[in-house]
Amino acid sequence: MTLDFKPRLLLGPGPSATHPRILQAMASPTIGYLDPQFFGIMDQVQDMLRAVFETTNPLTLPVSGTGSAGMEAALCNFIEPGDSVLVGVNGFFSQRMCEMAGRYGAEVRRIEKPWGEVFALEDVREKLEKKPAKLAAFVHAETSTGALQPLEGLGDLVHAHGGLLLLDCVTSLGGMPVGIDQNGVDIAYSGTQKCLGVPPGLAPLTISARGQAALMARRSKVANWYLDLSLLSKYWGKERAYHHTVPINMIYGLLEGLNIVLEEGLEVRWQRHRENAELLWAGLEKMGMSLFVPRAYRLPSLTTVQIPTGVEDLVVRRRLLNDYNIEIAGGFGPLASKIWRIGLMGHSSRRENVTLLLAALREIL
């Protein structure tokens, strides 16, 4: 068995295309996880992750798993049995948060909104006034719906009620502002394979001072050894104490991916994601299609578009894949067969990709 498969243009919800420089970085010779040379790489990765998260949080590191491991690390380290966790549920990934939090013994309370909508401060205030929560968890960029949760005032509100704000930045980090410090986010995680444009395998995570204090105040051990931040932080911090063997070559890839992000510049990169998304939106609308999420809270990294009446979801996606080598995705759960999800993330967010996808769709439809 060889790897002589056809390359694809990745315009789905992730992974996005990997920049050739990152692929090359990952092919650098493996060195040891306690090699002083590797410590230098770790420091650089952490510094650059802080820049991309827009934070000064010392506790910022890549978890050795994919984005879902980041979600689980963000939850399991802060939950002890019986803790109250408020989750804003408006899509697939916020449902997953409820599922995970429940496994760690949390008392999960949901604020529900239809898939595709977002939460107003009032929705959250009402729930917190009824009963405070240790964690209030939201998805910043909901990959299942294409909606962007506004963050203004959310951190202050959660803090005023004595809680921690947890934010899923899987589909936002590197493609739009996240402003972890400015928005008072205490716990945030992402995946490498979306707007950072690095292959899947690592989950960047950052924890505020308030979050660190909560970790220190735990009465019980974290009910997950591999993701226990009290152990991870000793390897990623000054002690360099062995916890587990981290994915060395993936970290090379993340280093190079972050180099690329910061060479481009965050603002320029966000603008590129925005402009290419707007080109796509205009093109889809010109073809008579309707975008699923109102412009006011539409994601630049992932566009959801309603499948026109009479058009077969799978037929179109199969033709895109088989005849054009283009991957886009369908909807999940209540949105299955109703929408397509088109990602323009990282190295996939390029004008020529928008042009090609629109032209291919015109040929097929």
- Strands 135-139 and 164-168 come out as parallel
The H-assigned helical ranges of the chain are 20-26, 36-53, 67-76, 92-103, 121-130, 154-160, 209-216, 229-236, 248-264, 266-286, 313-324, 351-364
Whether the upstream peptide bond of residue 15 has omega within 30° of 0, thus cis, is: yes
Stretch that binds its own copies, among 28-36, 118-126, 284-292, 296-304 (CB under 8 A): 28-36
The answer to the question of residue 28 lying near its own copies (CB under 8 A) is: yes
Map residue 345 onto helix, strand or coil.
coil
Residues 192-221 that bind its own copies (CB under 8 A): 193, 199-201, 221
Cα separations in angstroms, 265 against 174, 203, 222, 245, 298: 10, 21, 37, 32, 23
Q: What is the CB-side half-sphere exposure of residue 168 using CA atoms within 13 A?
A: 32
The answer to the question of residue 321 lying near its own copies (CB under 8 A) is: yes
d(CA 176, CA 224): 31
Stretch that binds its own copies, among 49-57, 67-75, 115-123, 275-283 (CB under 8 A): 67-75
d(CA 166, CA 43): 24
| Amino acid (one-letter) located at 103 | R
Residues 77-106 that bind its own copies (CB under 8 A): 96, 99-100, 103-104
Spatial CA neighbour of 300 closest among 278, 285, 318: 278
d(CA 68, CA 53): 18
Q: Please state the closest distance from residue 134 (CB atom) to its own copies, in A.
A: 19
The answer to the question of residue 259 lying near its own copies (CB under 8 A) is: yes
Binding residue (CB under 8 A) for its own copies from 91, 191, 257, 300 = 191
Binding residue (CB under 8 A) for its own copies from 14, 146, 184, 300 = 14
- Strands 187-189 and 164-168 come out as parallel
Q: For the chain, what is the radius of gyration of the CA atoms?
A: 20
Q: Please state the closest distance from residue 310 (CB atom) to its own copies, in A.
A: 25
What is residue 11's DSSP assignment? -
The answer to the question of residue 62 lying near its own copies (CB under 8 A) is: no
Binding residue (CB under 8 A) for its own copies from 51, 54, 58, 68 = 68
Stretch that binds its own copies, among 5-13, 113-121, 171-179, 289-297 (CB under 8 A): 5-13
The answer to the question of residue 72 lying near its own copies (CB under 8 A) is: yes
Question: Residue 37 or 309: which CB sits closer to its own copies?
Answer: 37
Q: Please state the closest distance from residue 204 (CB atom) to its own copies, in A.
A: 14
Stretch that binds its own copies, among 13-21, 133-141, 157-165, 280-288 (CB under 8 A): 13-21
Binding residue (CB under 8 A) for its own copies from 179, 226, 356, 358 = 226
d(CA 146, CA 141): 7
| Residues binding its own copies: number (CB under 8 A) | 73
Question: Residue 21 or 210: which CB sits closer to its own copies?
Answer: 21
Asked if residues 137 and 88 have their Cβ atoms less than 8 Å apart, the reply is yes
Q: Please state the closest distance from residue 179 (CB atom) to its own copies, in A.
A: 24
Binding residue (CB under 8 A) for its own copies from 80, 212, 215, 224 = 224
The answer to the question of residue 246 lying near its own copies (CB under 8 A) is: yes
Question: Residue 234 or 243: which CB sits closer to its own copies?
Answer: 243
